[in-house]
Structure 1
Amino acid sequence: MYYQIWNFFLQEEKYIYWKERIKLHTNFNKVTWQKIIDFLSLVEQTFPLKRQLAETDSLEPFLKLATENGYSLTAEELAWFLITRKQIWDLFDLAQKIPSLKEQLLLAKSPQDFINIAADNGYYFSVEELAWLLTEIKSSSELVSINNSVGEILTVSSYGRIETGYWIWLAELWGIVPPFCHRDKPSTFLSQNVNNPFLPDRCFLPKSYFNQRLMLVHN
């Protein structure tokens, strides 16, 4: 989703300004991230609100509109949310254009190695922020199918020319993005293994699971 107000943060000079400014704020967390997502989801589902937001061309009315609808936001929170996401997407886009960078990222031994490679290329975000965005992508309803080495069909999101399946797979391998649920329930009680990847908060089906149409794989 794009709104005119995003230019306040993402146009070149303002982007550089806010990118430096948000480095001073370390108190942003998943609650803030989800709060902004929830507000934007509300906007998309409420036509009058979406129209109001589309007509908003300065920051103060935007923040006021959010507050009036139960979401208290600050300029710094919005800047952090938008700029962090842009940096991750820009890294993915660059990796599509430079195979050697893509290979280097895919060979990262850990999430922190991935973050360090990103920083070496001028993109700054945390492991947690990467995990939140990839989980959000995975649970979206925009799907493409990919086949793994044993012919199983997996479903992941794709945005434009950026293939996100690689990054979701890598994050699942590291354990920072929940896997798809297995049909069989785990035999142990939830309290017996807090690292169990099949716990409810570590495992989910994407939103589009029940309306997707999977194609058969032909060898």
Structure 2
Amino acid sequence: MYYQLWNLFLSEDKYSYWKEKVKLLPKFDHFTWQKIIDFLSLAEQNFFLTTQLEKIDSIEAFLLLAKENGYKLTQEALAWFVITRKQIWDLLDTAQKIPSLKEQLLAAKNPQQFIKIAAEHRFHFSVEELAWLLTEVKCSPEFVSLNNSVGEILTASNYGRIEIGYWIWLAEDWGIVPPFCHLHKSDNLVSENIRNPFFLDRCFLPKSYFTQRLMSMV
């Protein structure tokens, strides 16, 4: 999903720099988050665009290609999007490996307490950003391979084994992730706002929800 964004922001020599810089950036909104996802989704469906992205070697080239395809993005927004997602996945991955941290996070009474615990372990993101990512994963029409959501498989980590269901259920209890959601619009839906998963006409569960619940019970 990330294509060259991984090399541009998350390679070993660049990640530390961008991680610190993102802390100083103003917060971006969900519209920006979704716009970047939409562009990357377009690339996944367009072989020619995918080929072009694979050849770029600079942030400027990435931004120009996005603009040529109708998406005006900024370097700061891309950095925020990529670094924030990695921060969240890294926290969940760490919690998977350290039972005491996982128990502490699952015991959080509200999302603010969860974010505070994450920050104490040097993972920085907001309640809104956590909700956007978990909703995105839950909205997947298939049982997703989580390493694909990150964009690359890290040799020191195994995102594919994160039990994401725990975190989705916790976020549901807090009310930051809708209990039913799916972004693919059916022909018989009347709402024009397909980006709001809390609307009643969005209320049908993706297959991944049942799959993850069944897997967690095995």
TM-score per shorter chain, which class? 0.7 to 0.9
Provide Cα deviations, 1:18-63, integer angstroms capped at 9, x if missing partner: 1111222224110110000000010001110111111112111111
Query: Match for residue 9 of structure 2?
Result: 9
The structure with the largest helix share of the pair is 2
Q: Tell me which amino acid in the other structure corresponds to 1:107.
A: A
Provide Cα deviations, 1:113-161, integer angstroms capped at 9, x if missing partner: 00000001010000000000000000113328xxxxxxxxxxxxxx511
State the secondary structure of the residue aligned to 1:122: coil
Query: Match for residue 112 of structure 2?
Result: 112
TM-score with structure 1 setting the length? 0.77
* Cα 1:175/1:16, change in 2 over 3 Å: same
Identity %: 66
* Cα 1:18/1:172, change in 2 over 3 Å: same
User: Mean alpha-carbon deviation: is it higher for 129-138 or for 7-16?
Assistant: 7-16
Q: With CA pairs under 8 Å and 6+ residues apart, which has the higher RCO, 1 or 2?
A: 2
The structure with the largest strand share of the pair is 1
Query: Match for residue 67 of structure 2?
Result: 67
Query: Match for residue 186 of structure 2?
Result: none
Q: Tell me which amino acid in the other structure corresponds to 2:17.
A: Y
Partner Cα separation in structure 2 for residue 202 and residue 85 of structure 1: 28
Unaligned runs of 5+ in 1: 145-158, 182-197
Q: Tell me which amino acid in the other structure corresponds to 1:108.
A: A
Pairwise CA RMSD: 2.3
Contact 2:141–2:207 (Cα < 8 Å) also in 1:
yes
TM-superposed deviation, 1:4: 2.9
Unaligned runs of 5+ in 2: 145-158, 182-196
Partner Cα separation in structure 2 for residue 109 and residue 202 of structure 1: 30
Contact 2:4–2:56 (Cα < 8 Å) also in 1:
yes
Partner Cα separation in structure 1 for residue 26 and residue 205 of structure 2: 31
Query: Match for residue 149 of structure 2?
Result: none
TM-superposed deviation, 1:162: 0.8
Q: Detail structure 1 runs of 4+ shifted over 3 Å in the superposition.
A: 201-204, 206-209
Count the aligned residue pairs.
182
Q: Tell me which amino acid in the other structure corresponds to 1:118.
A: A
Contact 1:179–1:202 (Cα < 8 Å) also in 2:
no
Query: Match for residue 203 of structure 2?
Result: 204
TM-score with structure 2 setting the length? 0.77
Show the 5 A alignment for 1:40-189. 40-143=40-143, 160-180=160-180
